Structure 1
Amino acid sequence: MAKNKSQIAAGSGYSDSLDDKKKHARKIARGLARLFPEPECALIHDSPFQLLVATILSAQCTDERVNATTPTLFKKYPTAEKLAASKQEDVEKIVYPLGFFRAKATNIRKMALAITEEHNGAIPRTLKELVALPGVGRKTANVVLGTAFGIPSGVVVDTHVKRICNIFGLTTSKNPEIIERDLMEVLPKKEWIDFSHRVILHGRATCVARRPRCTECSLLKICPRIGLKPLVE
């Protein structure tokens, strides 16, 4: 994506070189850490299994809606074994408010069956094993490994991360896989897990999609604001 210099904040230190991007990424990560020192996953869960289910259900749906639905689901099916033994129509009724309810019900039931039959009811702790499960892609696997087990397998790229990391100048892509690769290249591995949580929180609090509140943002001096209209002086 071409950079319009008039859209880049003065003094942000933005540069296209890899070394400078790494320095820039570290500044952004430190700034976000000051804003959100102890970020938490927005999906409410009590176990790795529940987190996996909730993350699958969150596709094309808000976390708030998922959190409103999963208590009923988890009360009836608290383990992989119980969900694997469920009836499709019963699960569909519960997850109906989340959209794509038939596909989501099918995916979490098949996932639970695979967990029960292939992993003795335990959630796998490798990316390869997780993405082999029904309904589980790389993003979902990264969420579970990072949040449930503290394993930095990659960087979670959701809509907030996709949008804001372009504004930050950490990527020029709209493709989640390329964005993740770009972020893994410029961020220290120790930042991979919390960085996404912090960007999501920042996107909800200040860097909102419809109208980013840049003048209120503590990151303004280091944010190149790529793709945004120049601030009115």
Structure 2
Amino acid sequence: MDDGSVLHLKLTLDANKGEAIFDFKGTSPEVYGNWNAPEAVTTAAVIYCLRCLVDVDIPLNQGCLAPVKILIPKGSFLSPSDTAAVVGGNVLTSQRVTDVVLMAFQACACSQGCMNNLTFGDDTFGYYETIGGGCGAGPTWDGTCGIQCHMTNTRMTDPEIFEQRYPVHLHKFSIRENSGGSGLHRGGDGLVREIEFRRPIVVSILSERRVHAPRGLKEGGNGGSWCKLSY
């Protein structure tokens, strides 16, 4: 993670029994920040990855994990205490767990690694959106540009509705060219989103990948990290 915390996974597969162990021992302790993740978040990310990897339409239920054991150390940022802040666990850490699992399987390179949560408002209204990025490339395909992938399920507000309902001008919403990792198959490019506020507004962003860029796979280049937030 950007603060130096480590998400560690040892993956053990038993092909004969059709079983797997996901051991997160070695993951760093819970943090003072808000991206600690309850155990259910890691479990959901593992289920998602397995359903992507298995070439069968597996029903989305607890039975998916019958042959799977997930070991999460107590007190880590994947199993924090009751008093830890966890608001960012679902939108940041779930994406990083997904990246780690898919990299462990050598399935695809890292994605943008978070959901890029933007909020703004004042005493009269509040607005919240998630900004997409690039998907990692795989053995036989390029990554997809400018999309919410993996653990996300959100859509962006249409520009016309956005400007009609809120005191903003949307000057640019475009692909961030050449920000995907290089290689035989290129990673997906990220996004540029420029918003002008027409009156004083409080703005916050919850994101990752400002320090550590999304990693490439099998000698593929890393993707671009966040440039900067300006307003």
Q: TM-score, normalised by structure 1?
A: 0.26
Say which structure is richer in strand.
2
